[in-house]
Structures are given as structure tokens and as C-alpha cells.
Structure 1
Amino acid sequence: MKQFIFLVMLLWGLNSYSQNYESNYKADICACIEAQENTQQLPDKIYNACFTKHMTTYAAIIDAQIKEEDKTKKFIAGQQVRRDLNQKFKYDLAYVCDAYIDIIEGKKQHALQQLRSRTIDSSKIEKLNENVAMVPHYSSYYNRGQYYYQIGDLNNAERDIKKSIQENPLNQDGVLSLQESLLLALIYEGQKRYSEAIAIYDAVNAKAIHPSVELLKAIAYRKSKGYVLKPKVVLKEGVEPVVAAKEKIEKPPVKATRRSSQRVPAPNTEQNNTTSKRTRTATRTGTSTVAEPANKQAPTKSKDSTKNLRGLFKLD
């Protein structure tokens, strides 16, 4: 009897664990993201790495819930479940995991700050105004509205995007283009009109769910409930920044090279005396005398060149 009760409790525990594995799986992914919060990687890359890392814990539970005898069909069904979970957790985590939304919103705010920290290019605004005047097409209004959003002029951005939606012939029966809809929703978020932004996201996902749009909706919902991006703490309290000093590269001392002094041979006094005597004698007699070298060889006679050529080329 005790063994039966233990078996029932074990099966009940396994069943409840398998039913709640999604929440446990998301908690593990969130903890993994928290450990990599200060990394410079993209949010999608961090999320996919953590999802794959913890799949090893829940793969057996996922496959056990697939009731299929054929191994090939079971494998295909298991792959589909994994893809669906990957897409679902991608926006579900934004509702419960602050570290995940911090990374996404941090990247977005950093990009906007870089755009809005630049000096406003008045010549570009004039060019966009000229395009609207010359070609009053919906794309001209959209381009100008997009630039207004980038520089933080949300009121003018809203005006131009609404004009673009009005002039766009593809927007019929209340169905707006995805590009214009998402930009208008982001403008509403910047104006803290979160309910209007969420309404746009719901309209976009009315026919089919876009995971990226659901993620934007989750972020807008969190902001409407008071979520604020936490500022990054670069240094811990009481820790001074360490500035790396440049290492001095000491060059080896250059050794001074001494000029090699060559000894000058002492003059031969005997030879000089002999030469001077000959010079005085030649001066008295009026003739010039040239000293000849001691080891003078007699000139050799050159052979006949014609004879040499005949011997070389066998000429007759």
C-alpha cells in the first residue's frame, strides 16, 4: 500500500513538473541572461544562447509529451515544439524578466541617444521639405517623419507619419502598412501614450502573430506599469578608475664609436736624402732626372693577333 501511494505521488509530481516546465525554463533563461547583462552582444544572440544552453534540462520532458509512434514524425514534431517555444519565450520573457528587457531597451536607447546627440542638420530638413513640396508622395512624408523621430521632434514626426498613412494607397479598410504602423507606435511610446501604442501592436497582430511585434507590445506594457530602464553602473562604489600608464620603452644606450687611428709610417730619411741630392745635381746640370723604380720589368712583345685568330678559328 505504501509503495502504491509513493508511486502515485511520484507520478503526480512528474506530471505537475511537466506542466510547469515552461515557467521553470523561462526562469532558467532569465538567470542566464542576468549573468550576461553587461555583455556587448545583441539581445537575440544572448537569448538564443541561453535558450539552447538550458534545452538540455527540458528536452526529455518536451519529447515525452509528444504522442507519436513513428520516430520520424516524432522528431519533426519535437523540432516544431522547440521552434514554437523559442518564438514564444522571446516575448513572454519581457513580461517577467527585467534583465532581458534591460538589454533590449538599453540597446534601443543607446542607438537613439547617438542619433539625437548629433547636431541637427538644417540643410537635411530643408532638403526633405523640398522633396515634400516637389513630390507630395506618401514616401516623402514618411522620410521626413522618420528623420523627425530620429532627432527627437516627436510632434512633427507624428504629423508626417499620419499624413503618410493617409496618402498611402495601400492602406485600405483600416489595414495599415507594417512600416508606418510600427513607427507611429514608437512615436506614441516616446510621448508616453502607451495604450495607443499597444492598440497599434494588437492591430498588426490581428491576423498573424509577429514575435518581434509582440515583444514591442510587451515592452510598452511594462512601461505603462512603471518600468524604467536602470542606469548602468560602470564602477563599483568606492573604486577609482584605473588608468593604464604607458610603459616606457628604454632604448639601449648607443655606444660611441671611436675612429680607428691608423699609424702613419715614419718617413725614410735615407731615401729622402738620396732624392734631394739627385734633384740638386739635376738643377746644376740643367737636366731633369726621373727616378725609376727598383724592380722594373722589361716590356714583353705582343704576339701576332692574326696568328692567334687563325689558331682559334682555324683560318687558312
Structure 2
Amino acid sequence: MNIKNTLVILSIIFFGNVATSQSHKSAFRADICDCLTLESQKRKLTENAYKACFIETLPKYATQIDAQIVEEDVNKKYLLGQIARRDLILTMQSQLVYTCKAYFEHLESEKLSKKLILRERAKESDLEAQNQLVAMSPNTYSYFSRAQLHYNLGNFDKAEADLKSCYEANPNKENMMSRRHELLLMALVHEENKNYAQAIALYDLAYFGVQDSPVAILRAIADKNNGGTIANIPKLVDGKIGSAAVKKEGRGARETTRGRTTRTENKKTTTEKTQSKKKSDTSSLKKLFKIDN
């Protein structure tokens, strides 16, 4: 058998396995959706409905999930199987936003309900104290606190203005995780103004990995409301969006390179890429927060 024929056969095997994997996930989603739809016809869906339907449907696909794991060690294969199930139960939620009407409507209803409860509890009289706080100490914390109150009151333009001030006053602009609450609130403000593309970009910056399913769900809802499909779910590298690729490349270079000089050069390259990524994130944030350079 020549090399060309060997490559063709390997390609068929690889893409055949990928197709099988995607096929069973699509069927899994469809079965969970059927379960959720039936449940919604009987009673109002709750937060536990998804987990209950996942557990009910899982036995049908357990063998196919394990078949995707190539590992001879029994203990390691079991562990990888548990990780695969954990990741699946988390990632499938955002996928169902696009493919399951009953689940999407439930999430939208829950989101609206929480917003209306916060609005009901918010008081215009509290603004005086917030204004005094900003006047006495105009820092990122006071601006964010007032922005949150404005959002709860439905004053979205004022909330956006305070979030801009919050951003400008923040001495730690480049640390996305420490500013996660600002990113999420600004994303919600953008959604209220139907600026879905900006909201999605902020959700991407706030997202910290596979286990961050609440943000993945919010992103999916915003994208679906913007006319998006399941194909718009971003591909993850090491469970993260974007910067993980740079981190992985830097880590791999350090592990495989010998010699102090080469390690130093790789470290410099990784540092430069990280700094470039930070500058890119900061520049993107300025645009998303509508702040001029």
C-alpha cells in the first residue's frame, strides 16, 4: 500500500470518528430537548429540569461517549470518561439555547424575571446616597455601584456612562478576571440597547473556561437574539477562548527547548505575545465601552 492510499484511509477513519462523535451529540441534544419540551408542557421548567433530563438521557449515549476515549489504562479511561460527562453537561446547555425552543424560552423567561425582581427592589431614593459616594470617592467601586443601581432602575444610558467612568478609574484595566463584573454588566446594558455584537464580545472577554456555563449561556442567548446559530459557538483552546492558544504555545516551547539561551528567547517571545494580547484586549474594551483613545 503506497503512502497516498494510507493517508486516504487514515483521513476516512479520522473524519468518520469525528462525524460519529458529532452525530451522537446532536442526537443527545435532540433527546434532551424532547425531554425538556415534554416537561414544559406539564409544568413550568425549573433550573433542575435540565440536569434531570440530562441524567435521564445519558444511559442511552454512555457507550458512545466512552468509545471516543482512546486510553488503555482502565483507571485513566474512567477518569477521562467522568471529565467528558462533566464537560458535556456544561457545554450542552449553551448549545440547547440554539436548538431547543422550550429551553430557550425558559432561559429568557428566567432572565427577564430576575431583572424585573431587581427593578422592583431598586429605589430611586437610593440614588442620593450613591451620588454622594461618587462625589466623596470617585473610584471604580463607587462608579460600578451606581451603575448597577441605574441598571436595576432601567436607566441604561446612565448605567453605561458610569461603567465608562468605572473603566477609566480602574488601575487594573488589563486584568479581565478582576473586572469580570464590569464586563458582564456592560454586556447586559448592550443587550438592552440591542447591541448584541458588543455584548457577545464582552461575554467572550469575561468567559473563563468550560465550567463557566452561566456566561456561555448568556452569550448564546445574545447571539441567538442576534440571529446566530449553533455554528457561532466559539471553538475553545484548553477550555478557553483566545489567549489560551498563546499560553499553550509558550508552555510547549519551554518544555521542549534545551539551553538557557533558547529558554530565555522563548520566554521573551511569550511575554511579548502576552503583552500584545493585553494591549489588544484593552483596545477592544475601549471600543466596547465606547471610550476614545
Structure 1 vs Structure 2 CA RMSD? 2.5
Deviations 1:3-39 (A, max 9, x none): xxxxxxxxxxx97655510000000111111122264
Corresponding residue for 2:111?
Answer: 108
For residues 92 and 83 of structure 1, the distance between their equivalents in structure 2, rounded to whole angstroms, comes to 15
SS, match of residue 52 in structure 2 = helix
Corresponding residue for 1:165?
Answer: 167
**Seq. identity, %:** 37
Answer 1 or 2: higher relative contact order, Cα 8 Å, separation at least 6. Answer: 2
1:186 aligned partner, one-letter code: L
Conserved? CA contact 2:140–2:165, under 8 Å: yes
Higher helix share: 2
SS, match of residue 125 in structure 2 = helix
For residues 201 and 178 of structure 2, the distance between their equivalents in structure 1, rounded to whole angstroms, comes to 13
Residues 131, 76 of structure 1: alpha-carbon distance in 2 compared, 3 angstrom cutoff: same
From 42, 45, 66, the equivalent of 2:46 is 42
From 173, 177, 180, the equivalent of 1:178 is 180
1:221 aligned partner, one-letter code: D
Alignment of 1:1-316 (within 5 A): 19-37=22-40, 39-40=43-44, 42-43=46-47, 45-117=48-120, 121-172=123-174, 177-205=179-207, 208=209, 210-225=212-227
Residues 214, 159 of structure 1: alpha-carbon distance in 2 compared, 3 angstrom cutoff: same
1:72 aligned partner, one-letter code: N
Conserved? CA contact 1:63–1:78, under 8 Å: yes
Task: Using the TM superposition, give the Cα deviation of residue 64 of structure 1 relative to its aligned residue in structure 2, in angstroms.
Answer: 2.4
For residues 121 and 78 of structure 1, the distance between their equivalents in structure 2, rounded to whole angstroms, comes to 50
Conserved? CA contact 1:128–1:143, under 8 Å: yes
Task: Using the TM superposition, give the Cα deviation of residue 167 of structure 1 relative to its aligned residue in structure 2, in angstroms.
Answer: 0.8
1:196 aligned partner, one-letter code: Q
Residues 121, 64 of structure 1: alpha-carbon distance in 2 compared, 3 angstrom cutoff: closer
Task: Using the TM superposition, give the Cα deviation of residue 225 of structure 1 relative to its aligned residue in structure 2, in angstroms.
Answer: 1.8
For residues 78 and 177 of structure 2, the distance between their equivalents in structure 1, rounded to whole angstroms, comes to 39
For residues 64 and 50 of structure 2, the distance between their equivalents in structure 1, rounded to whole angstroms, comes to 21
1:191 aligned partner, one-letter code: N
Task: Using the TM superposition, give the Cα deviation of residue 221 of structure 1 relative to its aligned residue in structure 2, in angstroms.
Answer: 0.8
For residues 130 and 114 of structure 1, the distance between their equivalents in structure 2, rounded to whole angstroms, comes to 26
Conserved? CA contact 1:165–1:176, under 8 Å: no
Residues 218, 18 of structure 1: alpha-carbon distance in 2 compared, 3 angstrom cutoff: closer
Residues 214, 18 of structure 1: alpha-carbon distance in 2 compared, 3 angstrom cutoff: closer
Unpaired segments of 5 or more residues in structure 2? Answer: 1-15, 230-293
Deviations 1:209-268 (A, max 9, x none): 5332221111001111299xxxxxxxxxxxxxxxxxxxxxxxxxxxxxxxxxxxxxxxxx
SS, match of residue 170 in structure 1 = coil
Conserved? CA contact 2:124–2:153, under 8 Å: no
State the TM-score, normalized to the length of structure 1.
0.61
For residues 63 and 56 of structure 2, the distance between their equivalents in structure 1, rounded to whole angstroms, comes to 14
1:42 aligned partner, one-letter code: T
2:204 aligned partner, one-letter code: D
2:57 aligned partner, one-letter code: H
Conserved? CA contact 1:145–1:160, under 8 Å: yes
State the TM-score, normalized to the length of structure 2.
0.65
